[in-house]
Amino acid sequence: MSSAATAVPAPQQGDIRHDWSRQEVEALFALPFNDLLFRAHSIHRRYFDPNQVQVSTLLSIKTGACPEDCAYCPQSTRYDTGLEVEKLMEVEKVLEQARAARESGATRFCMGAAWRSPKQRDMPYVVAMVKGVRELGLESCMTLGMLTAGQAQELAEAGLDYYNHNLDTSPEFYGDIITTRTYRDRLETLDHVRDAGMKVCSGGIVGMGEQQSDRAGLLQQLANLPRHPESVPVNMLVRVKGTPLADEADLDPFEFIRTVAVARILMPASHVRLSAGREEMNEQMHALAYFAGANSIFYGEKLLTTPNPRANKDMALFARLGIAPEQRQVERAPTAPHPQFYDASAAGAATAH
């Protein structure tokens, strides 16, 4: 084995970049599958325990009647999907669900509301939910649509850990999926979240009829933010009757795994989360995704309004794979490799591509 392969490199600033070109990202997607997974897994080991997966639970705290026209979403008031509209949940009912999530092994509790943006009259209830979840010892996350700078500050002062606001797809394909808010609107909300001091959860959806170049464009946008999102959800389209994408063709499962792997390479210190669409993924696909760098899942019976694999099914697979749920996160410098699981030879080989 060559000395280049056995030398132990110092933590490399080059791992954490914010200047990826579209050509570079598309070249990663074009790598032979085994080479791509090897590179992604090697980088994953530099920053994380490869046998731990962060577990989150997501609760819909206000369902349906959203005025947006997102083509994938059954909660849009523009589509007849048979979804029953529900008002904002009572605070104590939300906290009951948070307690149950904690007992089932979740370390983060995420709350989603089908709003274009929260109304000011709803903010006191939302703030009370955040404070209650934090008192239970759980990390808190919310997705409420677009935020003003003031609303982001209010949530930060309540102690909200993460705010989710997905970019969904590439800037070029975005207009084919959504017309009621712009890409710039989404980026501005992420700016407000960062400015308020909260962590960012932002990813997208694949399988909406986009091209591979659009998946590259989405990940390029996320990786070139001034700071990488701490969580990057990779959602597989869940086709819902009544939505414009109900008859969209299946995405090649290997293409989904490629997307996970490229996300890991571009954002080495971020948690890459398997989100919507896991119900359609078999155990082998889950295992490949974990190897490719996915290290976070949404856990439980339902993901907002679409099915999610049963909790005990996830835990059974974890046991078979030797994976343990990750404990609540301790802050870590973004360029520090994970000391216990750092493999010098793998890292040396990975950086040769």
Question: Which residues does 173 contact at the CB level (< 8 Å), separation at least 6?
Answer: 208, 210, 211, 214, 217
Asked about 186 being catalytic, the answer comes back as no
Q: Which of 39, 108, 186, 201 is catalytic?
A: 201
Asked about 141 being catalytic, the answer comes back as yes
Asked about 121 being catalytic, the answer comes back as no
- With 0-12 / 13-18 / 19 or more C-beta atoms within 10 angstroms meaning exposed / middle / buried, residue 327 is exposed
Asked about 273 being catalytic, the answer comes back as yes
Residue 181 to residue 114: CA distance in whole angstroms: 14
Asked about 66 being catalytic, the answer comes back as yes
Beta bridge partners of 233: 273
Q: Which of 46, 110, 239, 264 is catalytic?
A: 110
223 near 22, Cβ under 8 Å?
no
Asked about 201 being catalytic, the answer comes back as yes
Asked about 73 being catalytic, the answer comes back as yes
Tokens of 158: 């309540």
The set of catalytic residues is 66, 70, 73, 110, 141, 201, 273
